[in-house]
């Protein structure tokens, strides 16, 4: 299977990290966002939204949305389980995924889009909005720190998709100057532990 991806972007990274944890081999096709290759007619024919990632299945059909891709792969490759082994664990993993997508990932992308030089001239930037979103991200770091003080991983005792969503989002804060500080020791411990997994380099 082929994955249209970009090495710097957090959404395709979610899928690469997930696939690495599962041992699923994907043929990576790099799409250069900086060169606007994702807006070229050839790529828009694959995903009219002009977004990454896109999975191309063995039958040639395509699937977009990083979480839909991972959930589809999970059904084909149930082990090792990353979405929850029973109803209760699945609910907890999904609760964290939904929360983190809204309260961590999206605000982190807003900070990048509205305050970073990369997007200057590419989109209309509203720096004040970016700074407000920076505060939202910091608040979610503090909430994650509190949650992780009581358990090793985001959704409980073991590594799941919730950790992939959290890790790729926190890591994507770096270009915008967002950092996990010493005042958040549980978050820092978790961030370093997850960053040490081979899948973090995928």
Ligand X SMILES: N[C@@H](CCC(=O)N[C@@H](CS)C(=O)NCC(=O)O)C(=O)O
Q: Which residues bind ligand X (CB under 6 A)?
A: 9-11, 33, 38, 50-53, 65-67
- Residue 144 Cβ vs ligand X, minimum distance, rounded to whole Å: 19
Least distance in angstroms from the C-beta of 51 to ligand X: 4
Among residues 31 and 148, whose Cβ is nearest to ligand X? 31
DSSP 154-197: TTBSS--HHHHHHHHHHHHTGGGT----TT-HHHHHHHHHHHTS
Is 36 or 151 the residue whose CB approaches ligand X more closely? 36
Report the alpha-carbon distance of residue 133 to residue 136 in Å, rounded. Answer: 5
- Shortest Cβ 13–ligand X spacing (Å): 8
> How is residue 20 written in tokens?
């690495």
In the complex, least distance from residue 125 CB atom to ligand X, rounded to whole angstroms = 13
Identity of the residue, 169 or 184, whose beta carbon is nearer to ligand X in the bound complex: 169
Cβ nearer to ligand X, comparing 148 with 165: 165
- CB-wise, 20 or 67, nearer to ligand X? 67
Q: How far is the CB of 183 from ligand X (least distance, A)?
A: 28
* 80 upstream amide cis, omega within 30 of 0: yes
- Residue 145, classified by CB atoms within 10 Å of its CB into exposed (0-12), middle (13-18) or buried (19+), is buried
Considering beta carbons, is residue 39 or 76 the nearer one to ligand X?
39
CA dihedral 10, 194, 18, 30 (to 10 degrees): 40
String of DSSP letters for 48-109: TT--S-EEE-TTS-EEESHHHHHHHHHHH--SS-SS-SSHHHHHHHHHHHHHHIIIIIHHHH
Q: Least CB distance from residue 169 to ligand X, whole Å?
A: 10
């Amino acid at each position: 299977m082929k994955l249209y991806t970009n090495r710097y972007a957090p959404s395709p990274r979610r899928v690469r990290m997930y696939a690495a944890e599962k041992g699923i081999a994907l043929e990576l096709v790099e799409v250069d966002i900086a060169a606007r290759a994702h807006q070229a007619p050839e790529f828009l024919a694959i995903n009219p939204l002009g977004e990454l990632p896109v999975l191309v299945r063995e039958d040639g059909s395509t699937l977009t949305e990083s979480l839909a891709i991972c959930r589809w792969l999970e059904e084909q490759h149930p082990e090792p389980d990353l979405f929850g082994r029973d109803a209760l664990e699945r609910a907890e993993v999904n609760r964290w995924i939904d929360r983190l997508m809204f309260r961590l990932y999206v605000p982190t992308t807003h900070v990048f889009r509205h305050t970073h030089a990369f997007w200057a001239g590419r989109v209309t930037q509203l720096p004040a909005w970016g700074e407000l979103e920076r505060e939202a991200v910091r608040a979610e770091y503090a909430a994650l720190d509190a949650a992780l003080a009581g358990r090793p991983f985001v959704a409980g005792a073991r590594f799941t998709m919730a950790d992939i969503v959290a890790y790729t989002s926190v890591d994507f804060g770096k270009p915008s100057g967002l950092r996990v500080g010493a005042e958040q020791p549980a978050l820092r411990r978790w961030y370093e532990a997850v960053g040490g997994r081979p899948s973090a380099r995928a």
